[in-house]
Structure 1
Amino acid sequence: MAEMGADAVPRHPAIEEETEDDEAQAFFDYGGGFLDEDTLVVGTVGTVGTDEEFGTGRHWLVDTARMRLINQLAYPFEMTGLPEALGDSTWYTTSGLDNALHIWAL
């Protein structure tokens, strides 16, 4: 078992610098899962609402062997919704209107 605090996640770039620390803190969302045995895909939310309140939501890759962020995922268009891992190195997201399913791979 291991643990990584959400304080490892950088402040959302759209949050103003003078925002109180509690409001700028990120939290891991309930969506996500294992892409493979050592890599998680997860989304974050902030205490002032979801990251999506500030624009595009943020999804992250996490190295579970070292319990550290690998990188923020970049998508070719604005992403809504949470990542859901399929366990075969792929994950999916749904569109903002839930009328499309997007499957992603590294």
Structure 2
Amino acid sequence: MTKVVFVEANGTRHEVQARDGRSLMQAAVQNAVPGIDADCGGKCLCATCHVILPADWYARLGGPNPEEKEMLDPTPERTPTSRLSCQIQVSDALEGIVVQLPAFQM
């Protein structure tokens, strides 16, 4: 299990234990983190699992693939370090990651 922290736009923190091999989106949904709707179920088709990564984590994980980028392009509050949490797989390497949730998803 890997510790992941989701931070709502209002500052409320949700520390969860995520199962390795699953996505950040799945960890959020399984732990009832508000703001991660995951309408498409993790198929990179809806952008309702948008998260903003700290710059250092973005550098480690890399940018979005072409499909993810297409979904993110029209997303409100997109930042240079935005990603879809359905496209980020949990592993020990993510231990302690803190991701921000955009206000529009609340």
Looking at both structures, which has the greater relative contact order when contacts are Cα pairs under 8 Å and sequence separation is at least 6? Answer: 2
TM normalised by structure 1 equals 0.26
Higher helix share: 2
TM normalised by structure 2 equals 0.26
Q: Which has the larger radius of gyration?
A: 1
